[in-house]
Amino acid sequence: MELETRSLCLTNQVGYVTHLPKDWSYPSLCQEVFKSAQNFIFDLLDMGFYSDGPVYFRSSPFSRSSARRQELFIFTTFGNAFERVKENTSSILFQETVLVKSKGYTRIRPEELGDYYQTLSQQYSQAELEAILIYHVLFYQGEDLMVDVYSEVEV
- Cα distances (Å, whole numbers) of residue 145 to 67, 75, 115, 142: 27, 17, 17, 8
Query: Please, how many CA atoms are within 13 Å of residue 77, restricted to the half-sphere of its CB?
Result: 14
Contact between residue 116 and residue 1 where contact means Cβ atoms under 8 Å apart: yes
Q: How many domains does the chain have?
A: 1
Write out the residue range of the structural domain in which residue 46 sits.
Answer: 4-153
* Rounded Cα–Cα distance for residues 96 and 73 (Å): 15
Contact between residue 2 and residue 55 where contact means Cβ atoms under 8 Å apart: no
Contacts of 98 (CB under 8 A, 6+ apart): 8, 9, 10, 13
pLDDT at 80: 58
Contact between residue 27 and residue 110 where contact means Cβ atoms under 8 Å apart: yes
Mean pLDDT of 10-28: 88
* Rounded Cα–Cα distance for residues 113 and 5 (Å): 18
Task: Kindly report, residue by residue over 72-122, the tens digit of the pLDDT.
Answer: 999 988 765 556 666 656 677 788 888 999 999 999 999 999 999 999 999
Q: What does pTM read for this prediction?
A: 0.89
Assign residue 111 the CATH number of its domain: 3.20.80
Which of 17-26, 78-87, 133-142 has the least mean pLDDT? 78-87
* Rounded Cα–Cα distance for residues 140 and 150 (Å): 17
